[in-house]
Chains A and B, each alone.
Chain A
Amino acid sequence: MYHFEQWNGFDGFLWKEEVNVRDFIQHNYRPYTGDASFLVGPTEATDKLWDALQKLQKKERAQGGVLDMDTHVVSSLTSHGPGYISEELKELEKVVGLQTDKPLKRAFMPFGGIRMAIDSCKQAGYEPDPELQRIFTEYHLTHSDAVFQAYTPEMRAARKSHIITGLPDTYGRGRIVGDYRRVALYGIDVLIAEKKKDFSNCGTGTMTDEVIRQRQEITQQINALKDMKVMAEKYGYDISRPAANAREAFQWVYFGYLAAIKTQNGAAMSVGRISTFLDIYVERDMERGLLTEEEAQELVDHMVMKFRMVKFARIQSYQQLFSGDPVWATLAVGGTGLDGRPLVTKNDFRFLHTLENMGPSPEPNMTILYASTLPQGFREYCAHISITTSSVQYENDEVMKPVWGDDYSICCCVSATQTGKEIQFFGARANLLKALLYAINGGIDEKSRQQVAPPYRAITSEYLTWDEVKPAYLRMLDWLAGLYVNTLNLIHYMHDKYYYEAAEMALIDTDVRRSFATGIAGFSHCVDSISALKYARVRAIRDEDDGMVTGFETVGDFPKYGNDDDRADEIAQWLLKTFIDMVKKQHTYRDSEPSTSILTITSNVVYGKATGATPDGRKDGAPMAPGGNPSYGAEQNGLIASLNSAAKLPYTWALDGISITQTINPDSLGQSDDERVENLVQLLDGYFESPAHHLNVNVFGREKLIDAMEHPEKEEYANFTIRVSGYAVKFIDLTREQQLDVIARTCHGAM
């Protein structure tokens, strides 16, 4: 059992016996059931720092998206000296630490793939050190090169045709959330001691592959922990011991996260769930008379400012897929405990309040773990923040808690993971809509005319019926699921080998649970296309030369997903269940547990571009609906009918998440601010009791979007943030194509 003077005043036993942050929280946190009236504005220091940071962000944007880049230093925990937002203001920073030595300067991170590291420099106008290029090309294999060496021709073809898309094979896979709270609660020395114990208990002496690999991984983790101490020392902190007060707790937790983003450039680098944990330190300091509300809010503001600064070097094609430079520094607040008490503390308010103190922002990806049983004051404040900033998303605690317990984090855009106990192998998306076209065309890609899938028999009828297409589609889906999972197996094998997340894994239990997250793209169009085949008359339009089906003439009405019409919604259920069952029968790497998702981020535009015309009436190359959203124009019965359709998809069939994005016109939400808040709370209560999984809420009108698209230079749009499928983004940072797509989908609330 460990004892530290820094723990004075804390209750509980188990968390002193083993690394167990959840137990610590449950014994020491204080639920807050009041309203937002205690919140305070930014301090002078916050204003100054935020002002300085905004100037840098403006400059970054003016320079085309990159402010500065490292070209000579390979990023590691110890590679850079201390860095601050501004040298003159550094005394004001209550939470310190940058990825490199300068603010918004992007690190050189070659381990995910040297080519991408080089290209991202060159595309931004920088030339990486030739010696580094040589080392990582000739002497040291990187993740991406290893993956491509092992790919089969079929995998390459599927990747190229975009039937499998967004694979993490050129950069870090992300979605692994270290339990950064452990740094504050235990200090690094305890964590090293515990990992050493694990090392000595690793296997029985027989050197199987698994035991050898684990011994190596634990060693890497211990080395990372040692380096974290060195990293903190550069800023003048000794994190070998537990944090003694609130300021140290914020700082220690941030150092844990900083270690992750210095060493990994994953697509999603979530912060996790830290508000309730940190509130315990705030409350203790306040009781001791060491901290005021202003100072507490300042700590939160300064920490969040750091989360707003996370940057990675990316190539242009990546930016087209995920517009607006997102890093998914996802930070979850709210939720309830297994004992029924809400986990909401004053700190949960404070984190949301950063969106008022420093204005709207896409990062951190603020996520509210929602339940209608959360205190009224908190739900109202969440709704207020949605209405005024459109920067937060909601996820249903009531459906996630039974699966992940009460200390889960959101590890990506919407996917849950048990904090410190579980990791997720991220797996991009399979384009089920393209698979439908492959089924019709015998595995030949409708765009490239290449034989991508096996040459199954094509459908030659002039009029297509579901009876005829269904067996072909099932065969094609089965092929796709197998290829997809195998491709991911290969990628994750190489990632573990060449780009292992030592710093994050050091803050996760050695005996870790692994999930394997697949994903679906083109969902609603698939459902509507199947419905068209079933209920309308669909004629195949063929290319005169090669007989390939390149278009469809659909006559007659057919039910569409998004109208609470069981005929369409049952197709949606069938499709999801069919696909996840096909995924589940595959072997998955390291015995991970397979799941799937219906979320596409902004990539719905790029995926759509690569997909031909479909029987639901979607045109060749037109954007797909994002995530689990109904097709554009399909919703004929208003928002709630649409939400009811989404809610019919059982979360347990798509444990990686079903993302829904909706925009509501403020005028139609109610006449006064109070009415709008009350109505939005009621909407959220109803939706999550349905019980659905996820909702992005935007509150603004079409006119504002159009004006922002035409006049991005206006001051009021500099930080104008909107929720898109899976994350928040500054609207002016989207490509014009994506802006038009967002505008076309806006919005609910006709008069």
Chain B
Amino acid sequence: MSSLIGRIHSFETFALVDGPGIRCAVFLHGCALRCKYCHNPDTWHPCDRLIHMTPAELRQKLVRYRNYWKKNGGVTFSGGEPLLQMDFVTETFRLLKKDGVHTAIDTAGQPFSPKDPDWMNRFDALMNVTDLVILDLKQFDDQLHRDLTGYGNQNILAMAQYLSSRGKDMWIRHVLVPGVTDDEVDLTNMSTFISTLNTVRRVEILPYHTLGLSKWRQLGLEYPLEGVRTPTEEEIRRAEDILNVNAYQDWLLPDAHQ
């Protein structure tokens, strides 16, 4: 395992919305999805600024920020898609767990392969050292999901169910894009699905923003959502009502992140 090398895009040492408390977010390189609203398209392709690190090196870097994590903070691996570098994440988490660090991954679930026993073994190993999975549900309808990201979502929903059966804590996130991911029927179906899961601690609506737009331009990519506006307060509240976000308040409990 020690020969593992992670390919890291960047760090955000003051991440406050990627899990509980103050967290260091590690943005890993690479993702198969091509979400039209992606705000990190620069993680799709290799670039010359890629940082290569072993789990031990990364652990050493991360624990420098632990002063700030005390009550409920920790480390979140995001991306890109952390499950594409699963073994690297597992090994790094294993080391961080020795220091008692709270660990989370922020994933879209696309690599989840329930029919591949080897993959599932490796995934289980990761879950053994992961405290929280932040799962992005982008669309509920399979075809809509395909239109938005280039892939269907059956394995992603299966992953949510698998985590629920394993008793793994989850935060569910949904990016709300007006006219794209705010269909009432789709949101209602998603809400019903979420209610069947046992371990959802928080459901969040992430209002679409255009901060990632400049990255698309820098990369010379055409932005597929050109002209799409950000949602209004009212639209956000409506989506929150449908997804029933107020019903998921466990994350607020003081001992929710032990």
Q: Do A and B come from one complex?
A: yes
Which residues of A are at the interface with B, using a C-beta cutoff of 8 A? 564, 636-642, 644, 668-671, 678-679, 682-683, 685-687, 689-690, 748-751
User: Within 8 Å of chain A (Cβ to Cβ): is B186?
Assistant: no
Asked if A637 and B73 sit within 8 Å, CB to CB, the answer is no
A669: nearest residue on chain B (CB-CB)? B16
- A686-B22, A751-B39 as given contacts; A636 in contact with B68, CB under 8 Å: no
Contact stretch, chosen from B6-14, B95-103, B216-224: B6-14
Question: Is the Cβ of B70 less than 8 Å from the Cβ of A686?
Answer: yes
**Contact size range, B:** 20 to 34
Q: A678 CA to B21 CA in the complex, in Å?
A: 8
A679–B22 CB distance below 8 A: yes
Q: Is B3 an interface residue (CB 8 A)?
A: no
Report the tally of A-B residue pairs with Cβ distances under 8 A: 71
Are the C-beta atoms of B65 and A644 separated by less than 8 Å? yes
Give 7 new A-B contacts, CB below 8 A, not counting A682-B70, A687-B67: A637-B11, A640-B14, A679-B21, A685-B70, A686-B67, A686-B69, A749-B14
Closest 4 CB pairs of A and B: A686-B68, A639-B14, A640-B13, A638-B13
| In the complex, chain B residues whose CB is within 8 Å of the CB of A683 | 14, 22, 68
Chain A interface main SS type:
helix
Cross-chain contact A638 with B67 (CB below 8 angstroms): no
Q: Are A682 and B10 closer than 8 Å at their CB atoms?
A: no
Query: For the complex, what is the distance from the CA of A686 to the CA of B73, rounded to whole Å?
Result: 11
Contact A564 B68, beta carbon cutoff 8 Å: no
**CB–CB B17/A682 < 8 A:** no
CB distance from A194 to the nearest CB of B (A): 46
Partner of A751, one of B22, B71, B73, B209: B209
B13→A751 contact, CB < 8 A? no
Set of chain A residues within 8 Å of B16, measured between Cβ atoms: 668-670, 679, 749
List residues of chain A with CB within 8 A of the CB of B11.
637-638, 641
B67 and A690 within 8 A (CB): yes
Provide the residues of chain A in CB contact with B68, threshold 8 Å: 640, 682-683, 685-687
CA distance A463 to B100 in the complex (A): 49
Shortest A246–chain B CB gap in Å is 38
Tell me, in angstroms, the Cα distance from A119 to B43 when the chains sit together.
59
Complex Cα distance A641/B24, Å?
10
Give the residue of B12, B22, B39, B209 whose beta carbon is less than 8 angstroms from that of A682. B22
Rounded to whole angstroms, the CA-CA distance of A431 and B215 in the bound complex is 37
Do A644 and B39 contact each other (CB < 8 Å), given the known contacts A639-B13, A682-B21? no
B73 with A750: CB separation less than 8 A? no
| Chain B residue with the shortest CB-CB distance to A688 | B67
Given contacts A679-B21, A750-B211, A751-B209, A644 and B14 within 8 Å (CB-CB): no
List, in ascending order, chain A residues with CB within 8 A of B209's CB.
751
Residues of B within 8 A of A748 (CB): 14
Question: A679 contacts which chain B residues (CB < 8 A)?
Answer: 16, 21-22
Nearest-neighbour CB distance to chain A for B211, whole angstroms, equals 6
Q: How far is the CA of A748 from the CA of B16 in the complex (A)?
A: 11
Minimum distance in angstroms from B219 CB to a CB of chain A: 17
- Take A682-B70, A689-B67, A751-B209 as given contacts and tell me if A640 and B17 are in contact as well, using a CB distance cutoff of 8 Å: no
B64 CB within 8 Å of chain A: yes
Instruction: Report 24 cross-chain contacts, Cβ distance below 8 Å, ordered by A residue.
Output: A564-B13, A638-B13, A638-B15, A639-B13, A639-B14, A640-B22, A640-B68, A641-B13, A644-B13, A644-B65, A668-B16, A668-B17, A669-B16, A682-B22, A682-B69, A682-B70, A682-B73, A683-B22, A683-B68, A685-B68, A686-B65, A686-B70, A687-B68, A749-B14
Contact of B64 among A644, A671, A678, A685 (CB under 8 A): A644
Most chain A Cβ neighbours within 10 Å, of B14, B69, B71, B209 = B14
| Docked CA distance A326–B129 (Å) | 53
Task: Provide the residues of chain B in CB contact with A642, threshold 8 Å.
Answer: 13
Minimum CB–CB distance for A490 against chain B, Å = 44
For the complex, what is the distance from the CA of A686 to the CA of B67, rounded to whole Å? 5
A670 and B65 alpha carbons, distance in the complex (Å): 19
In angstroms, Cα B22 to Cα A638, docked, is 12
Residue of B nearest to A679 (CB): B16
B10-A636 in contact (CB<8A)? yes
Once the chains are docked, how many angstroms separate the CA of A749 from the CA of B65? 16
CA distance A683 to B69 in the complex (A): 8
- A679-B21, A679-B22 are known contacts. Are A638 and B14 too (CB-CB below 8 A)? yes
Q: Contact at B17–A751, with CB atoms within 8 Å?
A: yes
Which residues in chain B, 1-59, are within 8 Å of chain A measured between CB atoms? 10-17, 21-22, 24, 39
- Proximity string of chain B (200-217) to chain A, C-beta cutoff 8 Å, 1 when within and 0 when not: 000000000101000000
Nearest CB of A to B22, in Å? 5
**Bound Cα distance A619, B16 (Å):** 34
Min C-beta distance of B203 to chain A, whole Å: 12
In whole Å, how far is A379's beta carbon from the nearest beta carbon of chain B?
12
User: Which of B16, B65, B209 is packed against the most chain A CB atoms within 10 Å?
Assistant: B16
Bound complex: CA A749 to CA B209 (Å): 14
List of A residues within 8 angstroms of B15 by Cβ:
638
